[in-house]
Amino acid sequence: MKYYKTLNDNTIQCLLCRHYCKLKEEQTGICGVNKNENGKLKNLVYNHPSALNIDPVEKKPLYHFLPGSKILSIGTVGCNFRCPFCQNWQISQTNKIDENVVVTPNDMAKLVEDYQCDGVAYTYNEPSIFYPYAKDIGKSVAIKGAKNIFVTDGFESVEEIEDMDWLDAANIDLKSFNKEYYKKVLKGDLDAVLDTIQRMHNKGIWIEITTLLIEGENDSTEELENMAKFIANVDKDIPWHLSAFHPDYKMLDKNATQIETLKRAYDIGKKYGLNYIYFGNVDVPDITYCPKCGYDVVVRNRYEVVKNKITNEGTCPKCDTKIAGVWNK
């Protein structure tokens, strides 16, 4: 895809997220890292990661995508949202790029090979805003058989999603089901995120959804029911990760989420027929149960898989029911 379109008088429109920023000469978008230089879009963070680690795929979190896989996780600086609870705000809410750090897509592919990683996750900050860099890395590692994963706020442009034939999986944040909250607090748009979830699912990208539950912000019964109902209408097999908030960034005055709040959301999800619901940021085992017979096919302790009984055909060993997910490379 072309990452921008020319409007007039050297004004361009960025196509890397749903803000669709219109940029005059030398102007940078809301994300802080995509700039109009000489009538062309320049991705300022290309080749300049701010974070680079090796993680289990369960940390993304993805629970139904190659359990136990080793993933190279990368991020840059910048974001297209302004979440006051961001846990990576030191890099997501800055546009200060360390240009002394240079890691090319080919360098990333070499790291994947050297450390025998099963894939790459574009994470820590919003990957849609460094899509040109991510895509070039993704194509380089795919040649070697590695998978590609987005951990995203779901604000990708339609053009990006249509271009994502190289992407294998995504964990998408559904931060609220309140349009005003998305607009005023997060500086995003709920309808766009819902559209992204549907489009990625339709495209065949394996998706899982995460909701960070913040008491008094997004945990009302009505809102949780709307979330669960929406996910179920897309696909009841989409895993829903319910994560506990802890005070951070601009929300240090809020209480950490209680386990009872997570359990209430879990019950609501089950009420609407969701087959796979998990807790995050709490010390409880995360278990994948067969939706038919209830057998515990995968058991995780935090990010470690301690039991995986799913067959090579991706089914429950007890009743042969298909367990939704990507279980084999």
Please check whether residues 92 and 26 belong to one and the same domain: no
Q: What is the pLDDT of residues 308-326, one digit of tens each?
A: 999 999 999 999 999 999 9
Query: What band does 9 get if pLDDT is binned at 50, 70 and 90?
Result: confident
Residue 290 falls inside a structural domain: no
Q: What is the pLDDT of residue 298?
A: 97
Please check whether residues 113 and 260 belong to one and the same domain: yes
Neighbours of 187 (CB within 10 A): 15
Q: What is the pLDDT of residues 22-76, one digit of tens each?
A: 999 999 999 999 999 999 999 999 999 999 999 999 999 999 999 999 999 999 9
Please check whether residues 21 and 117 belong to one and the same domain: no
Please check whether residues 38 and 68 belong to one and the same domain: no
CA distances from 113 to 22, 107, 143 (A): 39, 10, 11
Query: What band does 131 get if pLDDT is binned at 50, 70 and 90?
Result: very high
Q: Which domain, by its residues, includes 35?
A: 4-43
Please check whether residues 18 and 86 belong to one and the same domain: no
Please check whether residues 55 and 35 belong to one and the same domain: no
CATH number of domain containing 139: 3.20.20.70
Please check whether residues 147 and 193 belong to one and the same domain: yes
Burial class of 59 by CB neighbour count within 10 A (0 to 12, 13 to 18, 19+): middle
Number of separate domains in the chain: 2
Q: What is the pLDDT of residue 234?
A: 98
Q: What is the pLDDT of residues 217-248, one digit of tens each?
A: 999 999 999 999 999 999 999 999 999 999 99
Q: Which two tokens stand for residue 79?
A: 């974001």
Please check whether residues 19 and 151 belong to one and the same domain: no
Residue 268 falls inside a structural domain: yes
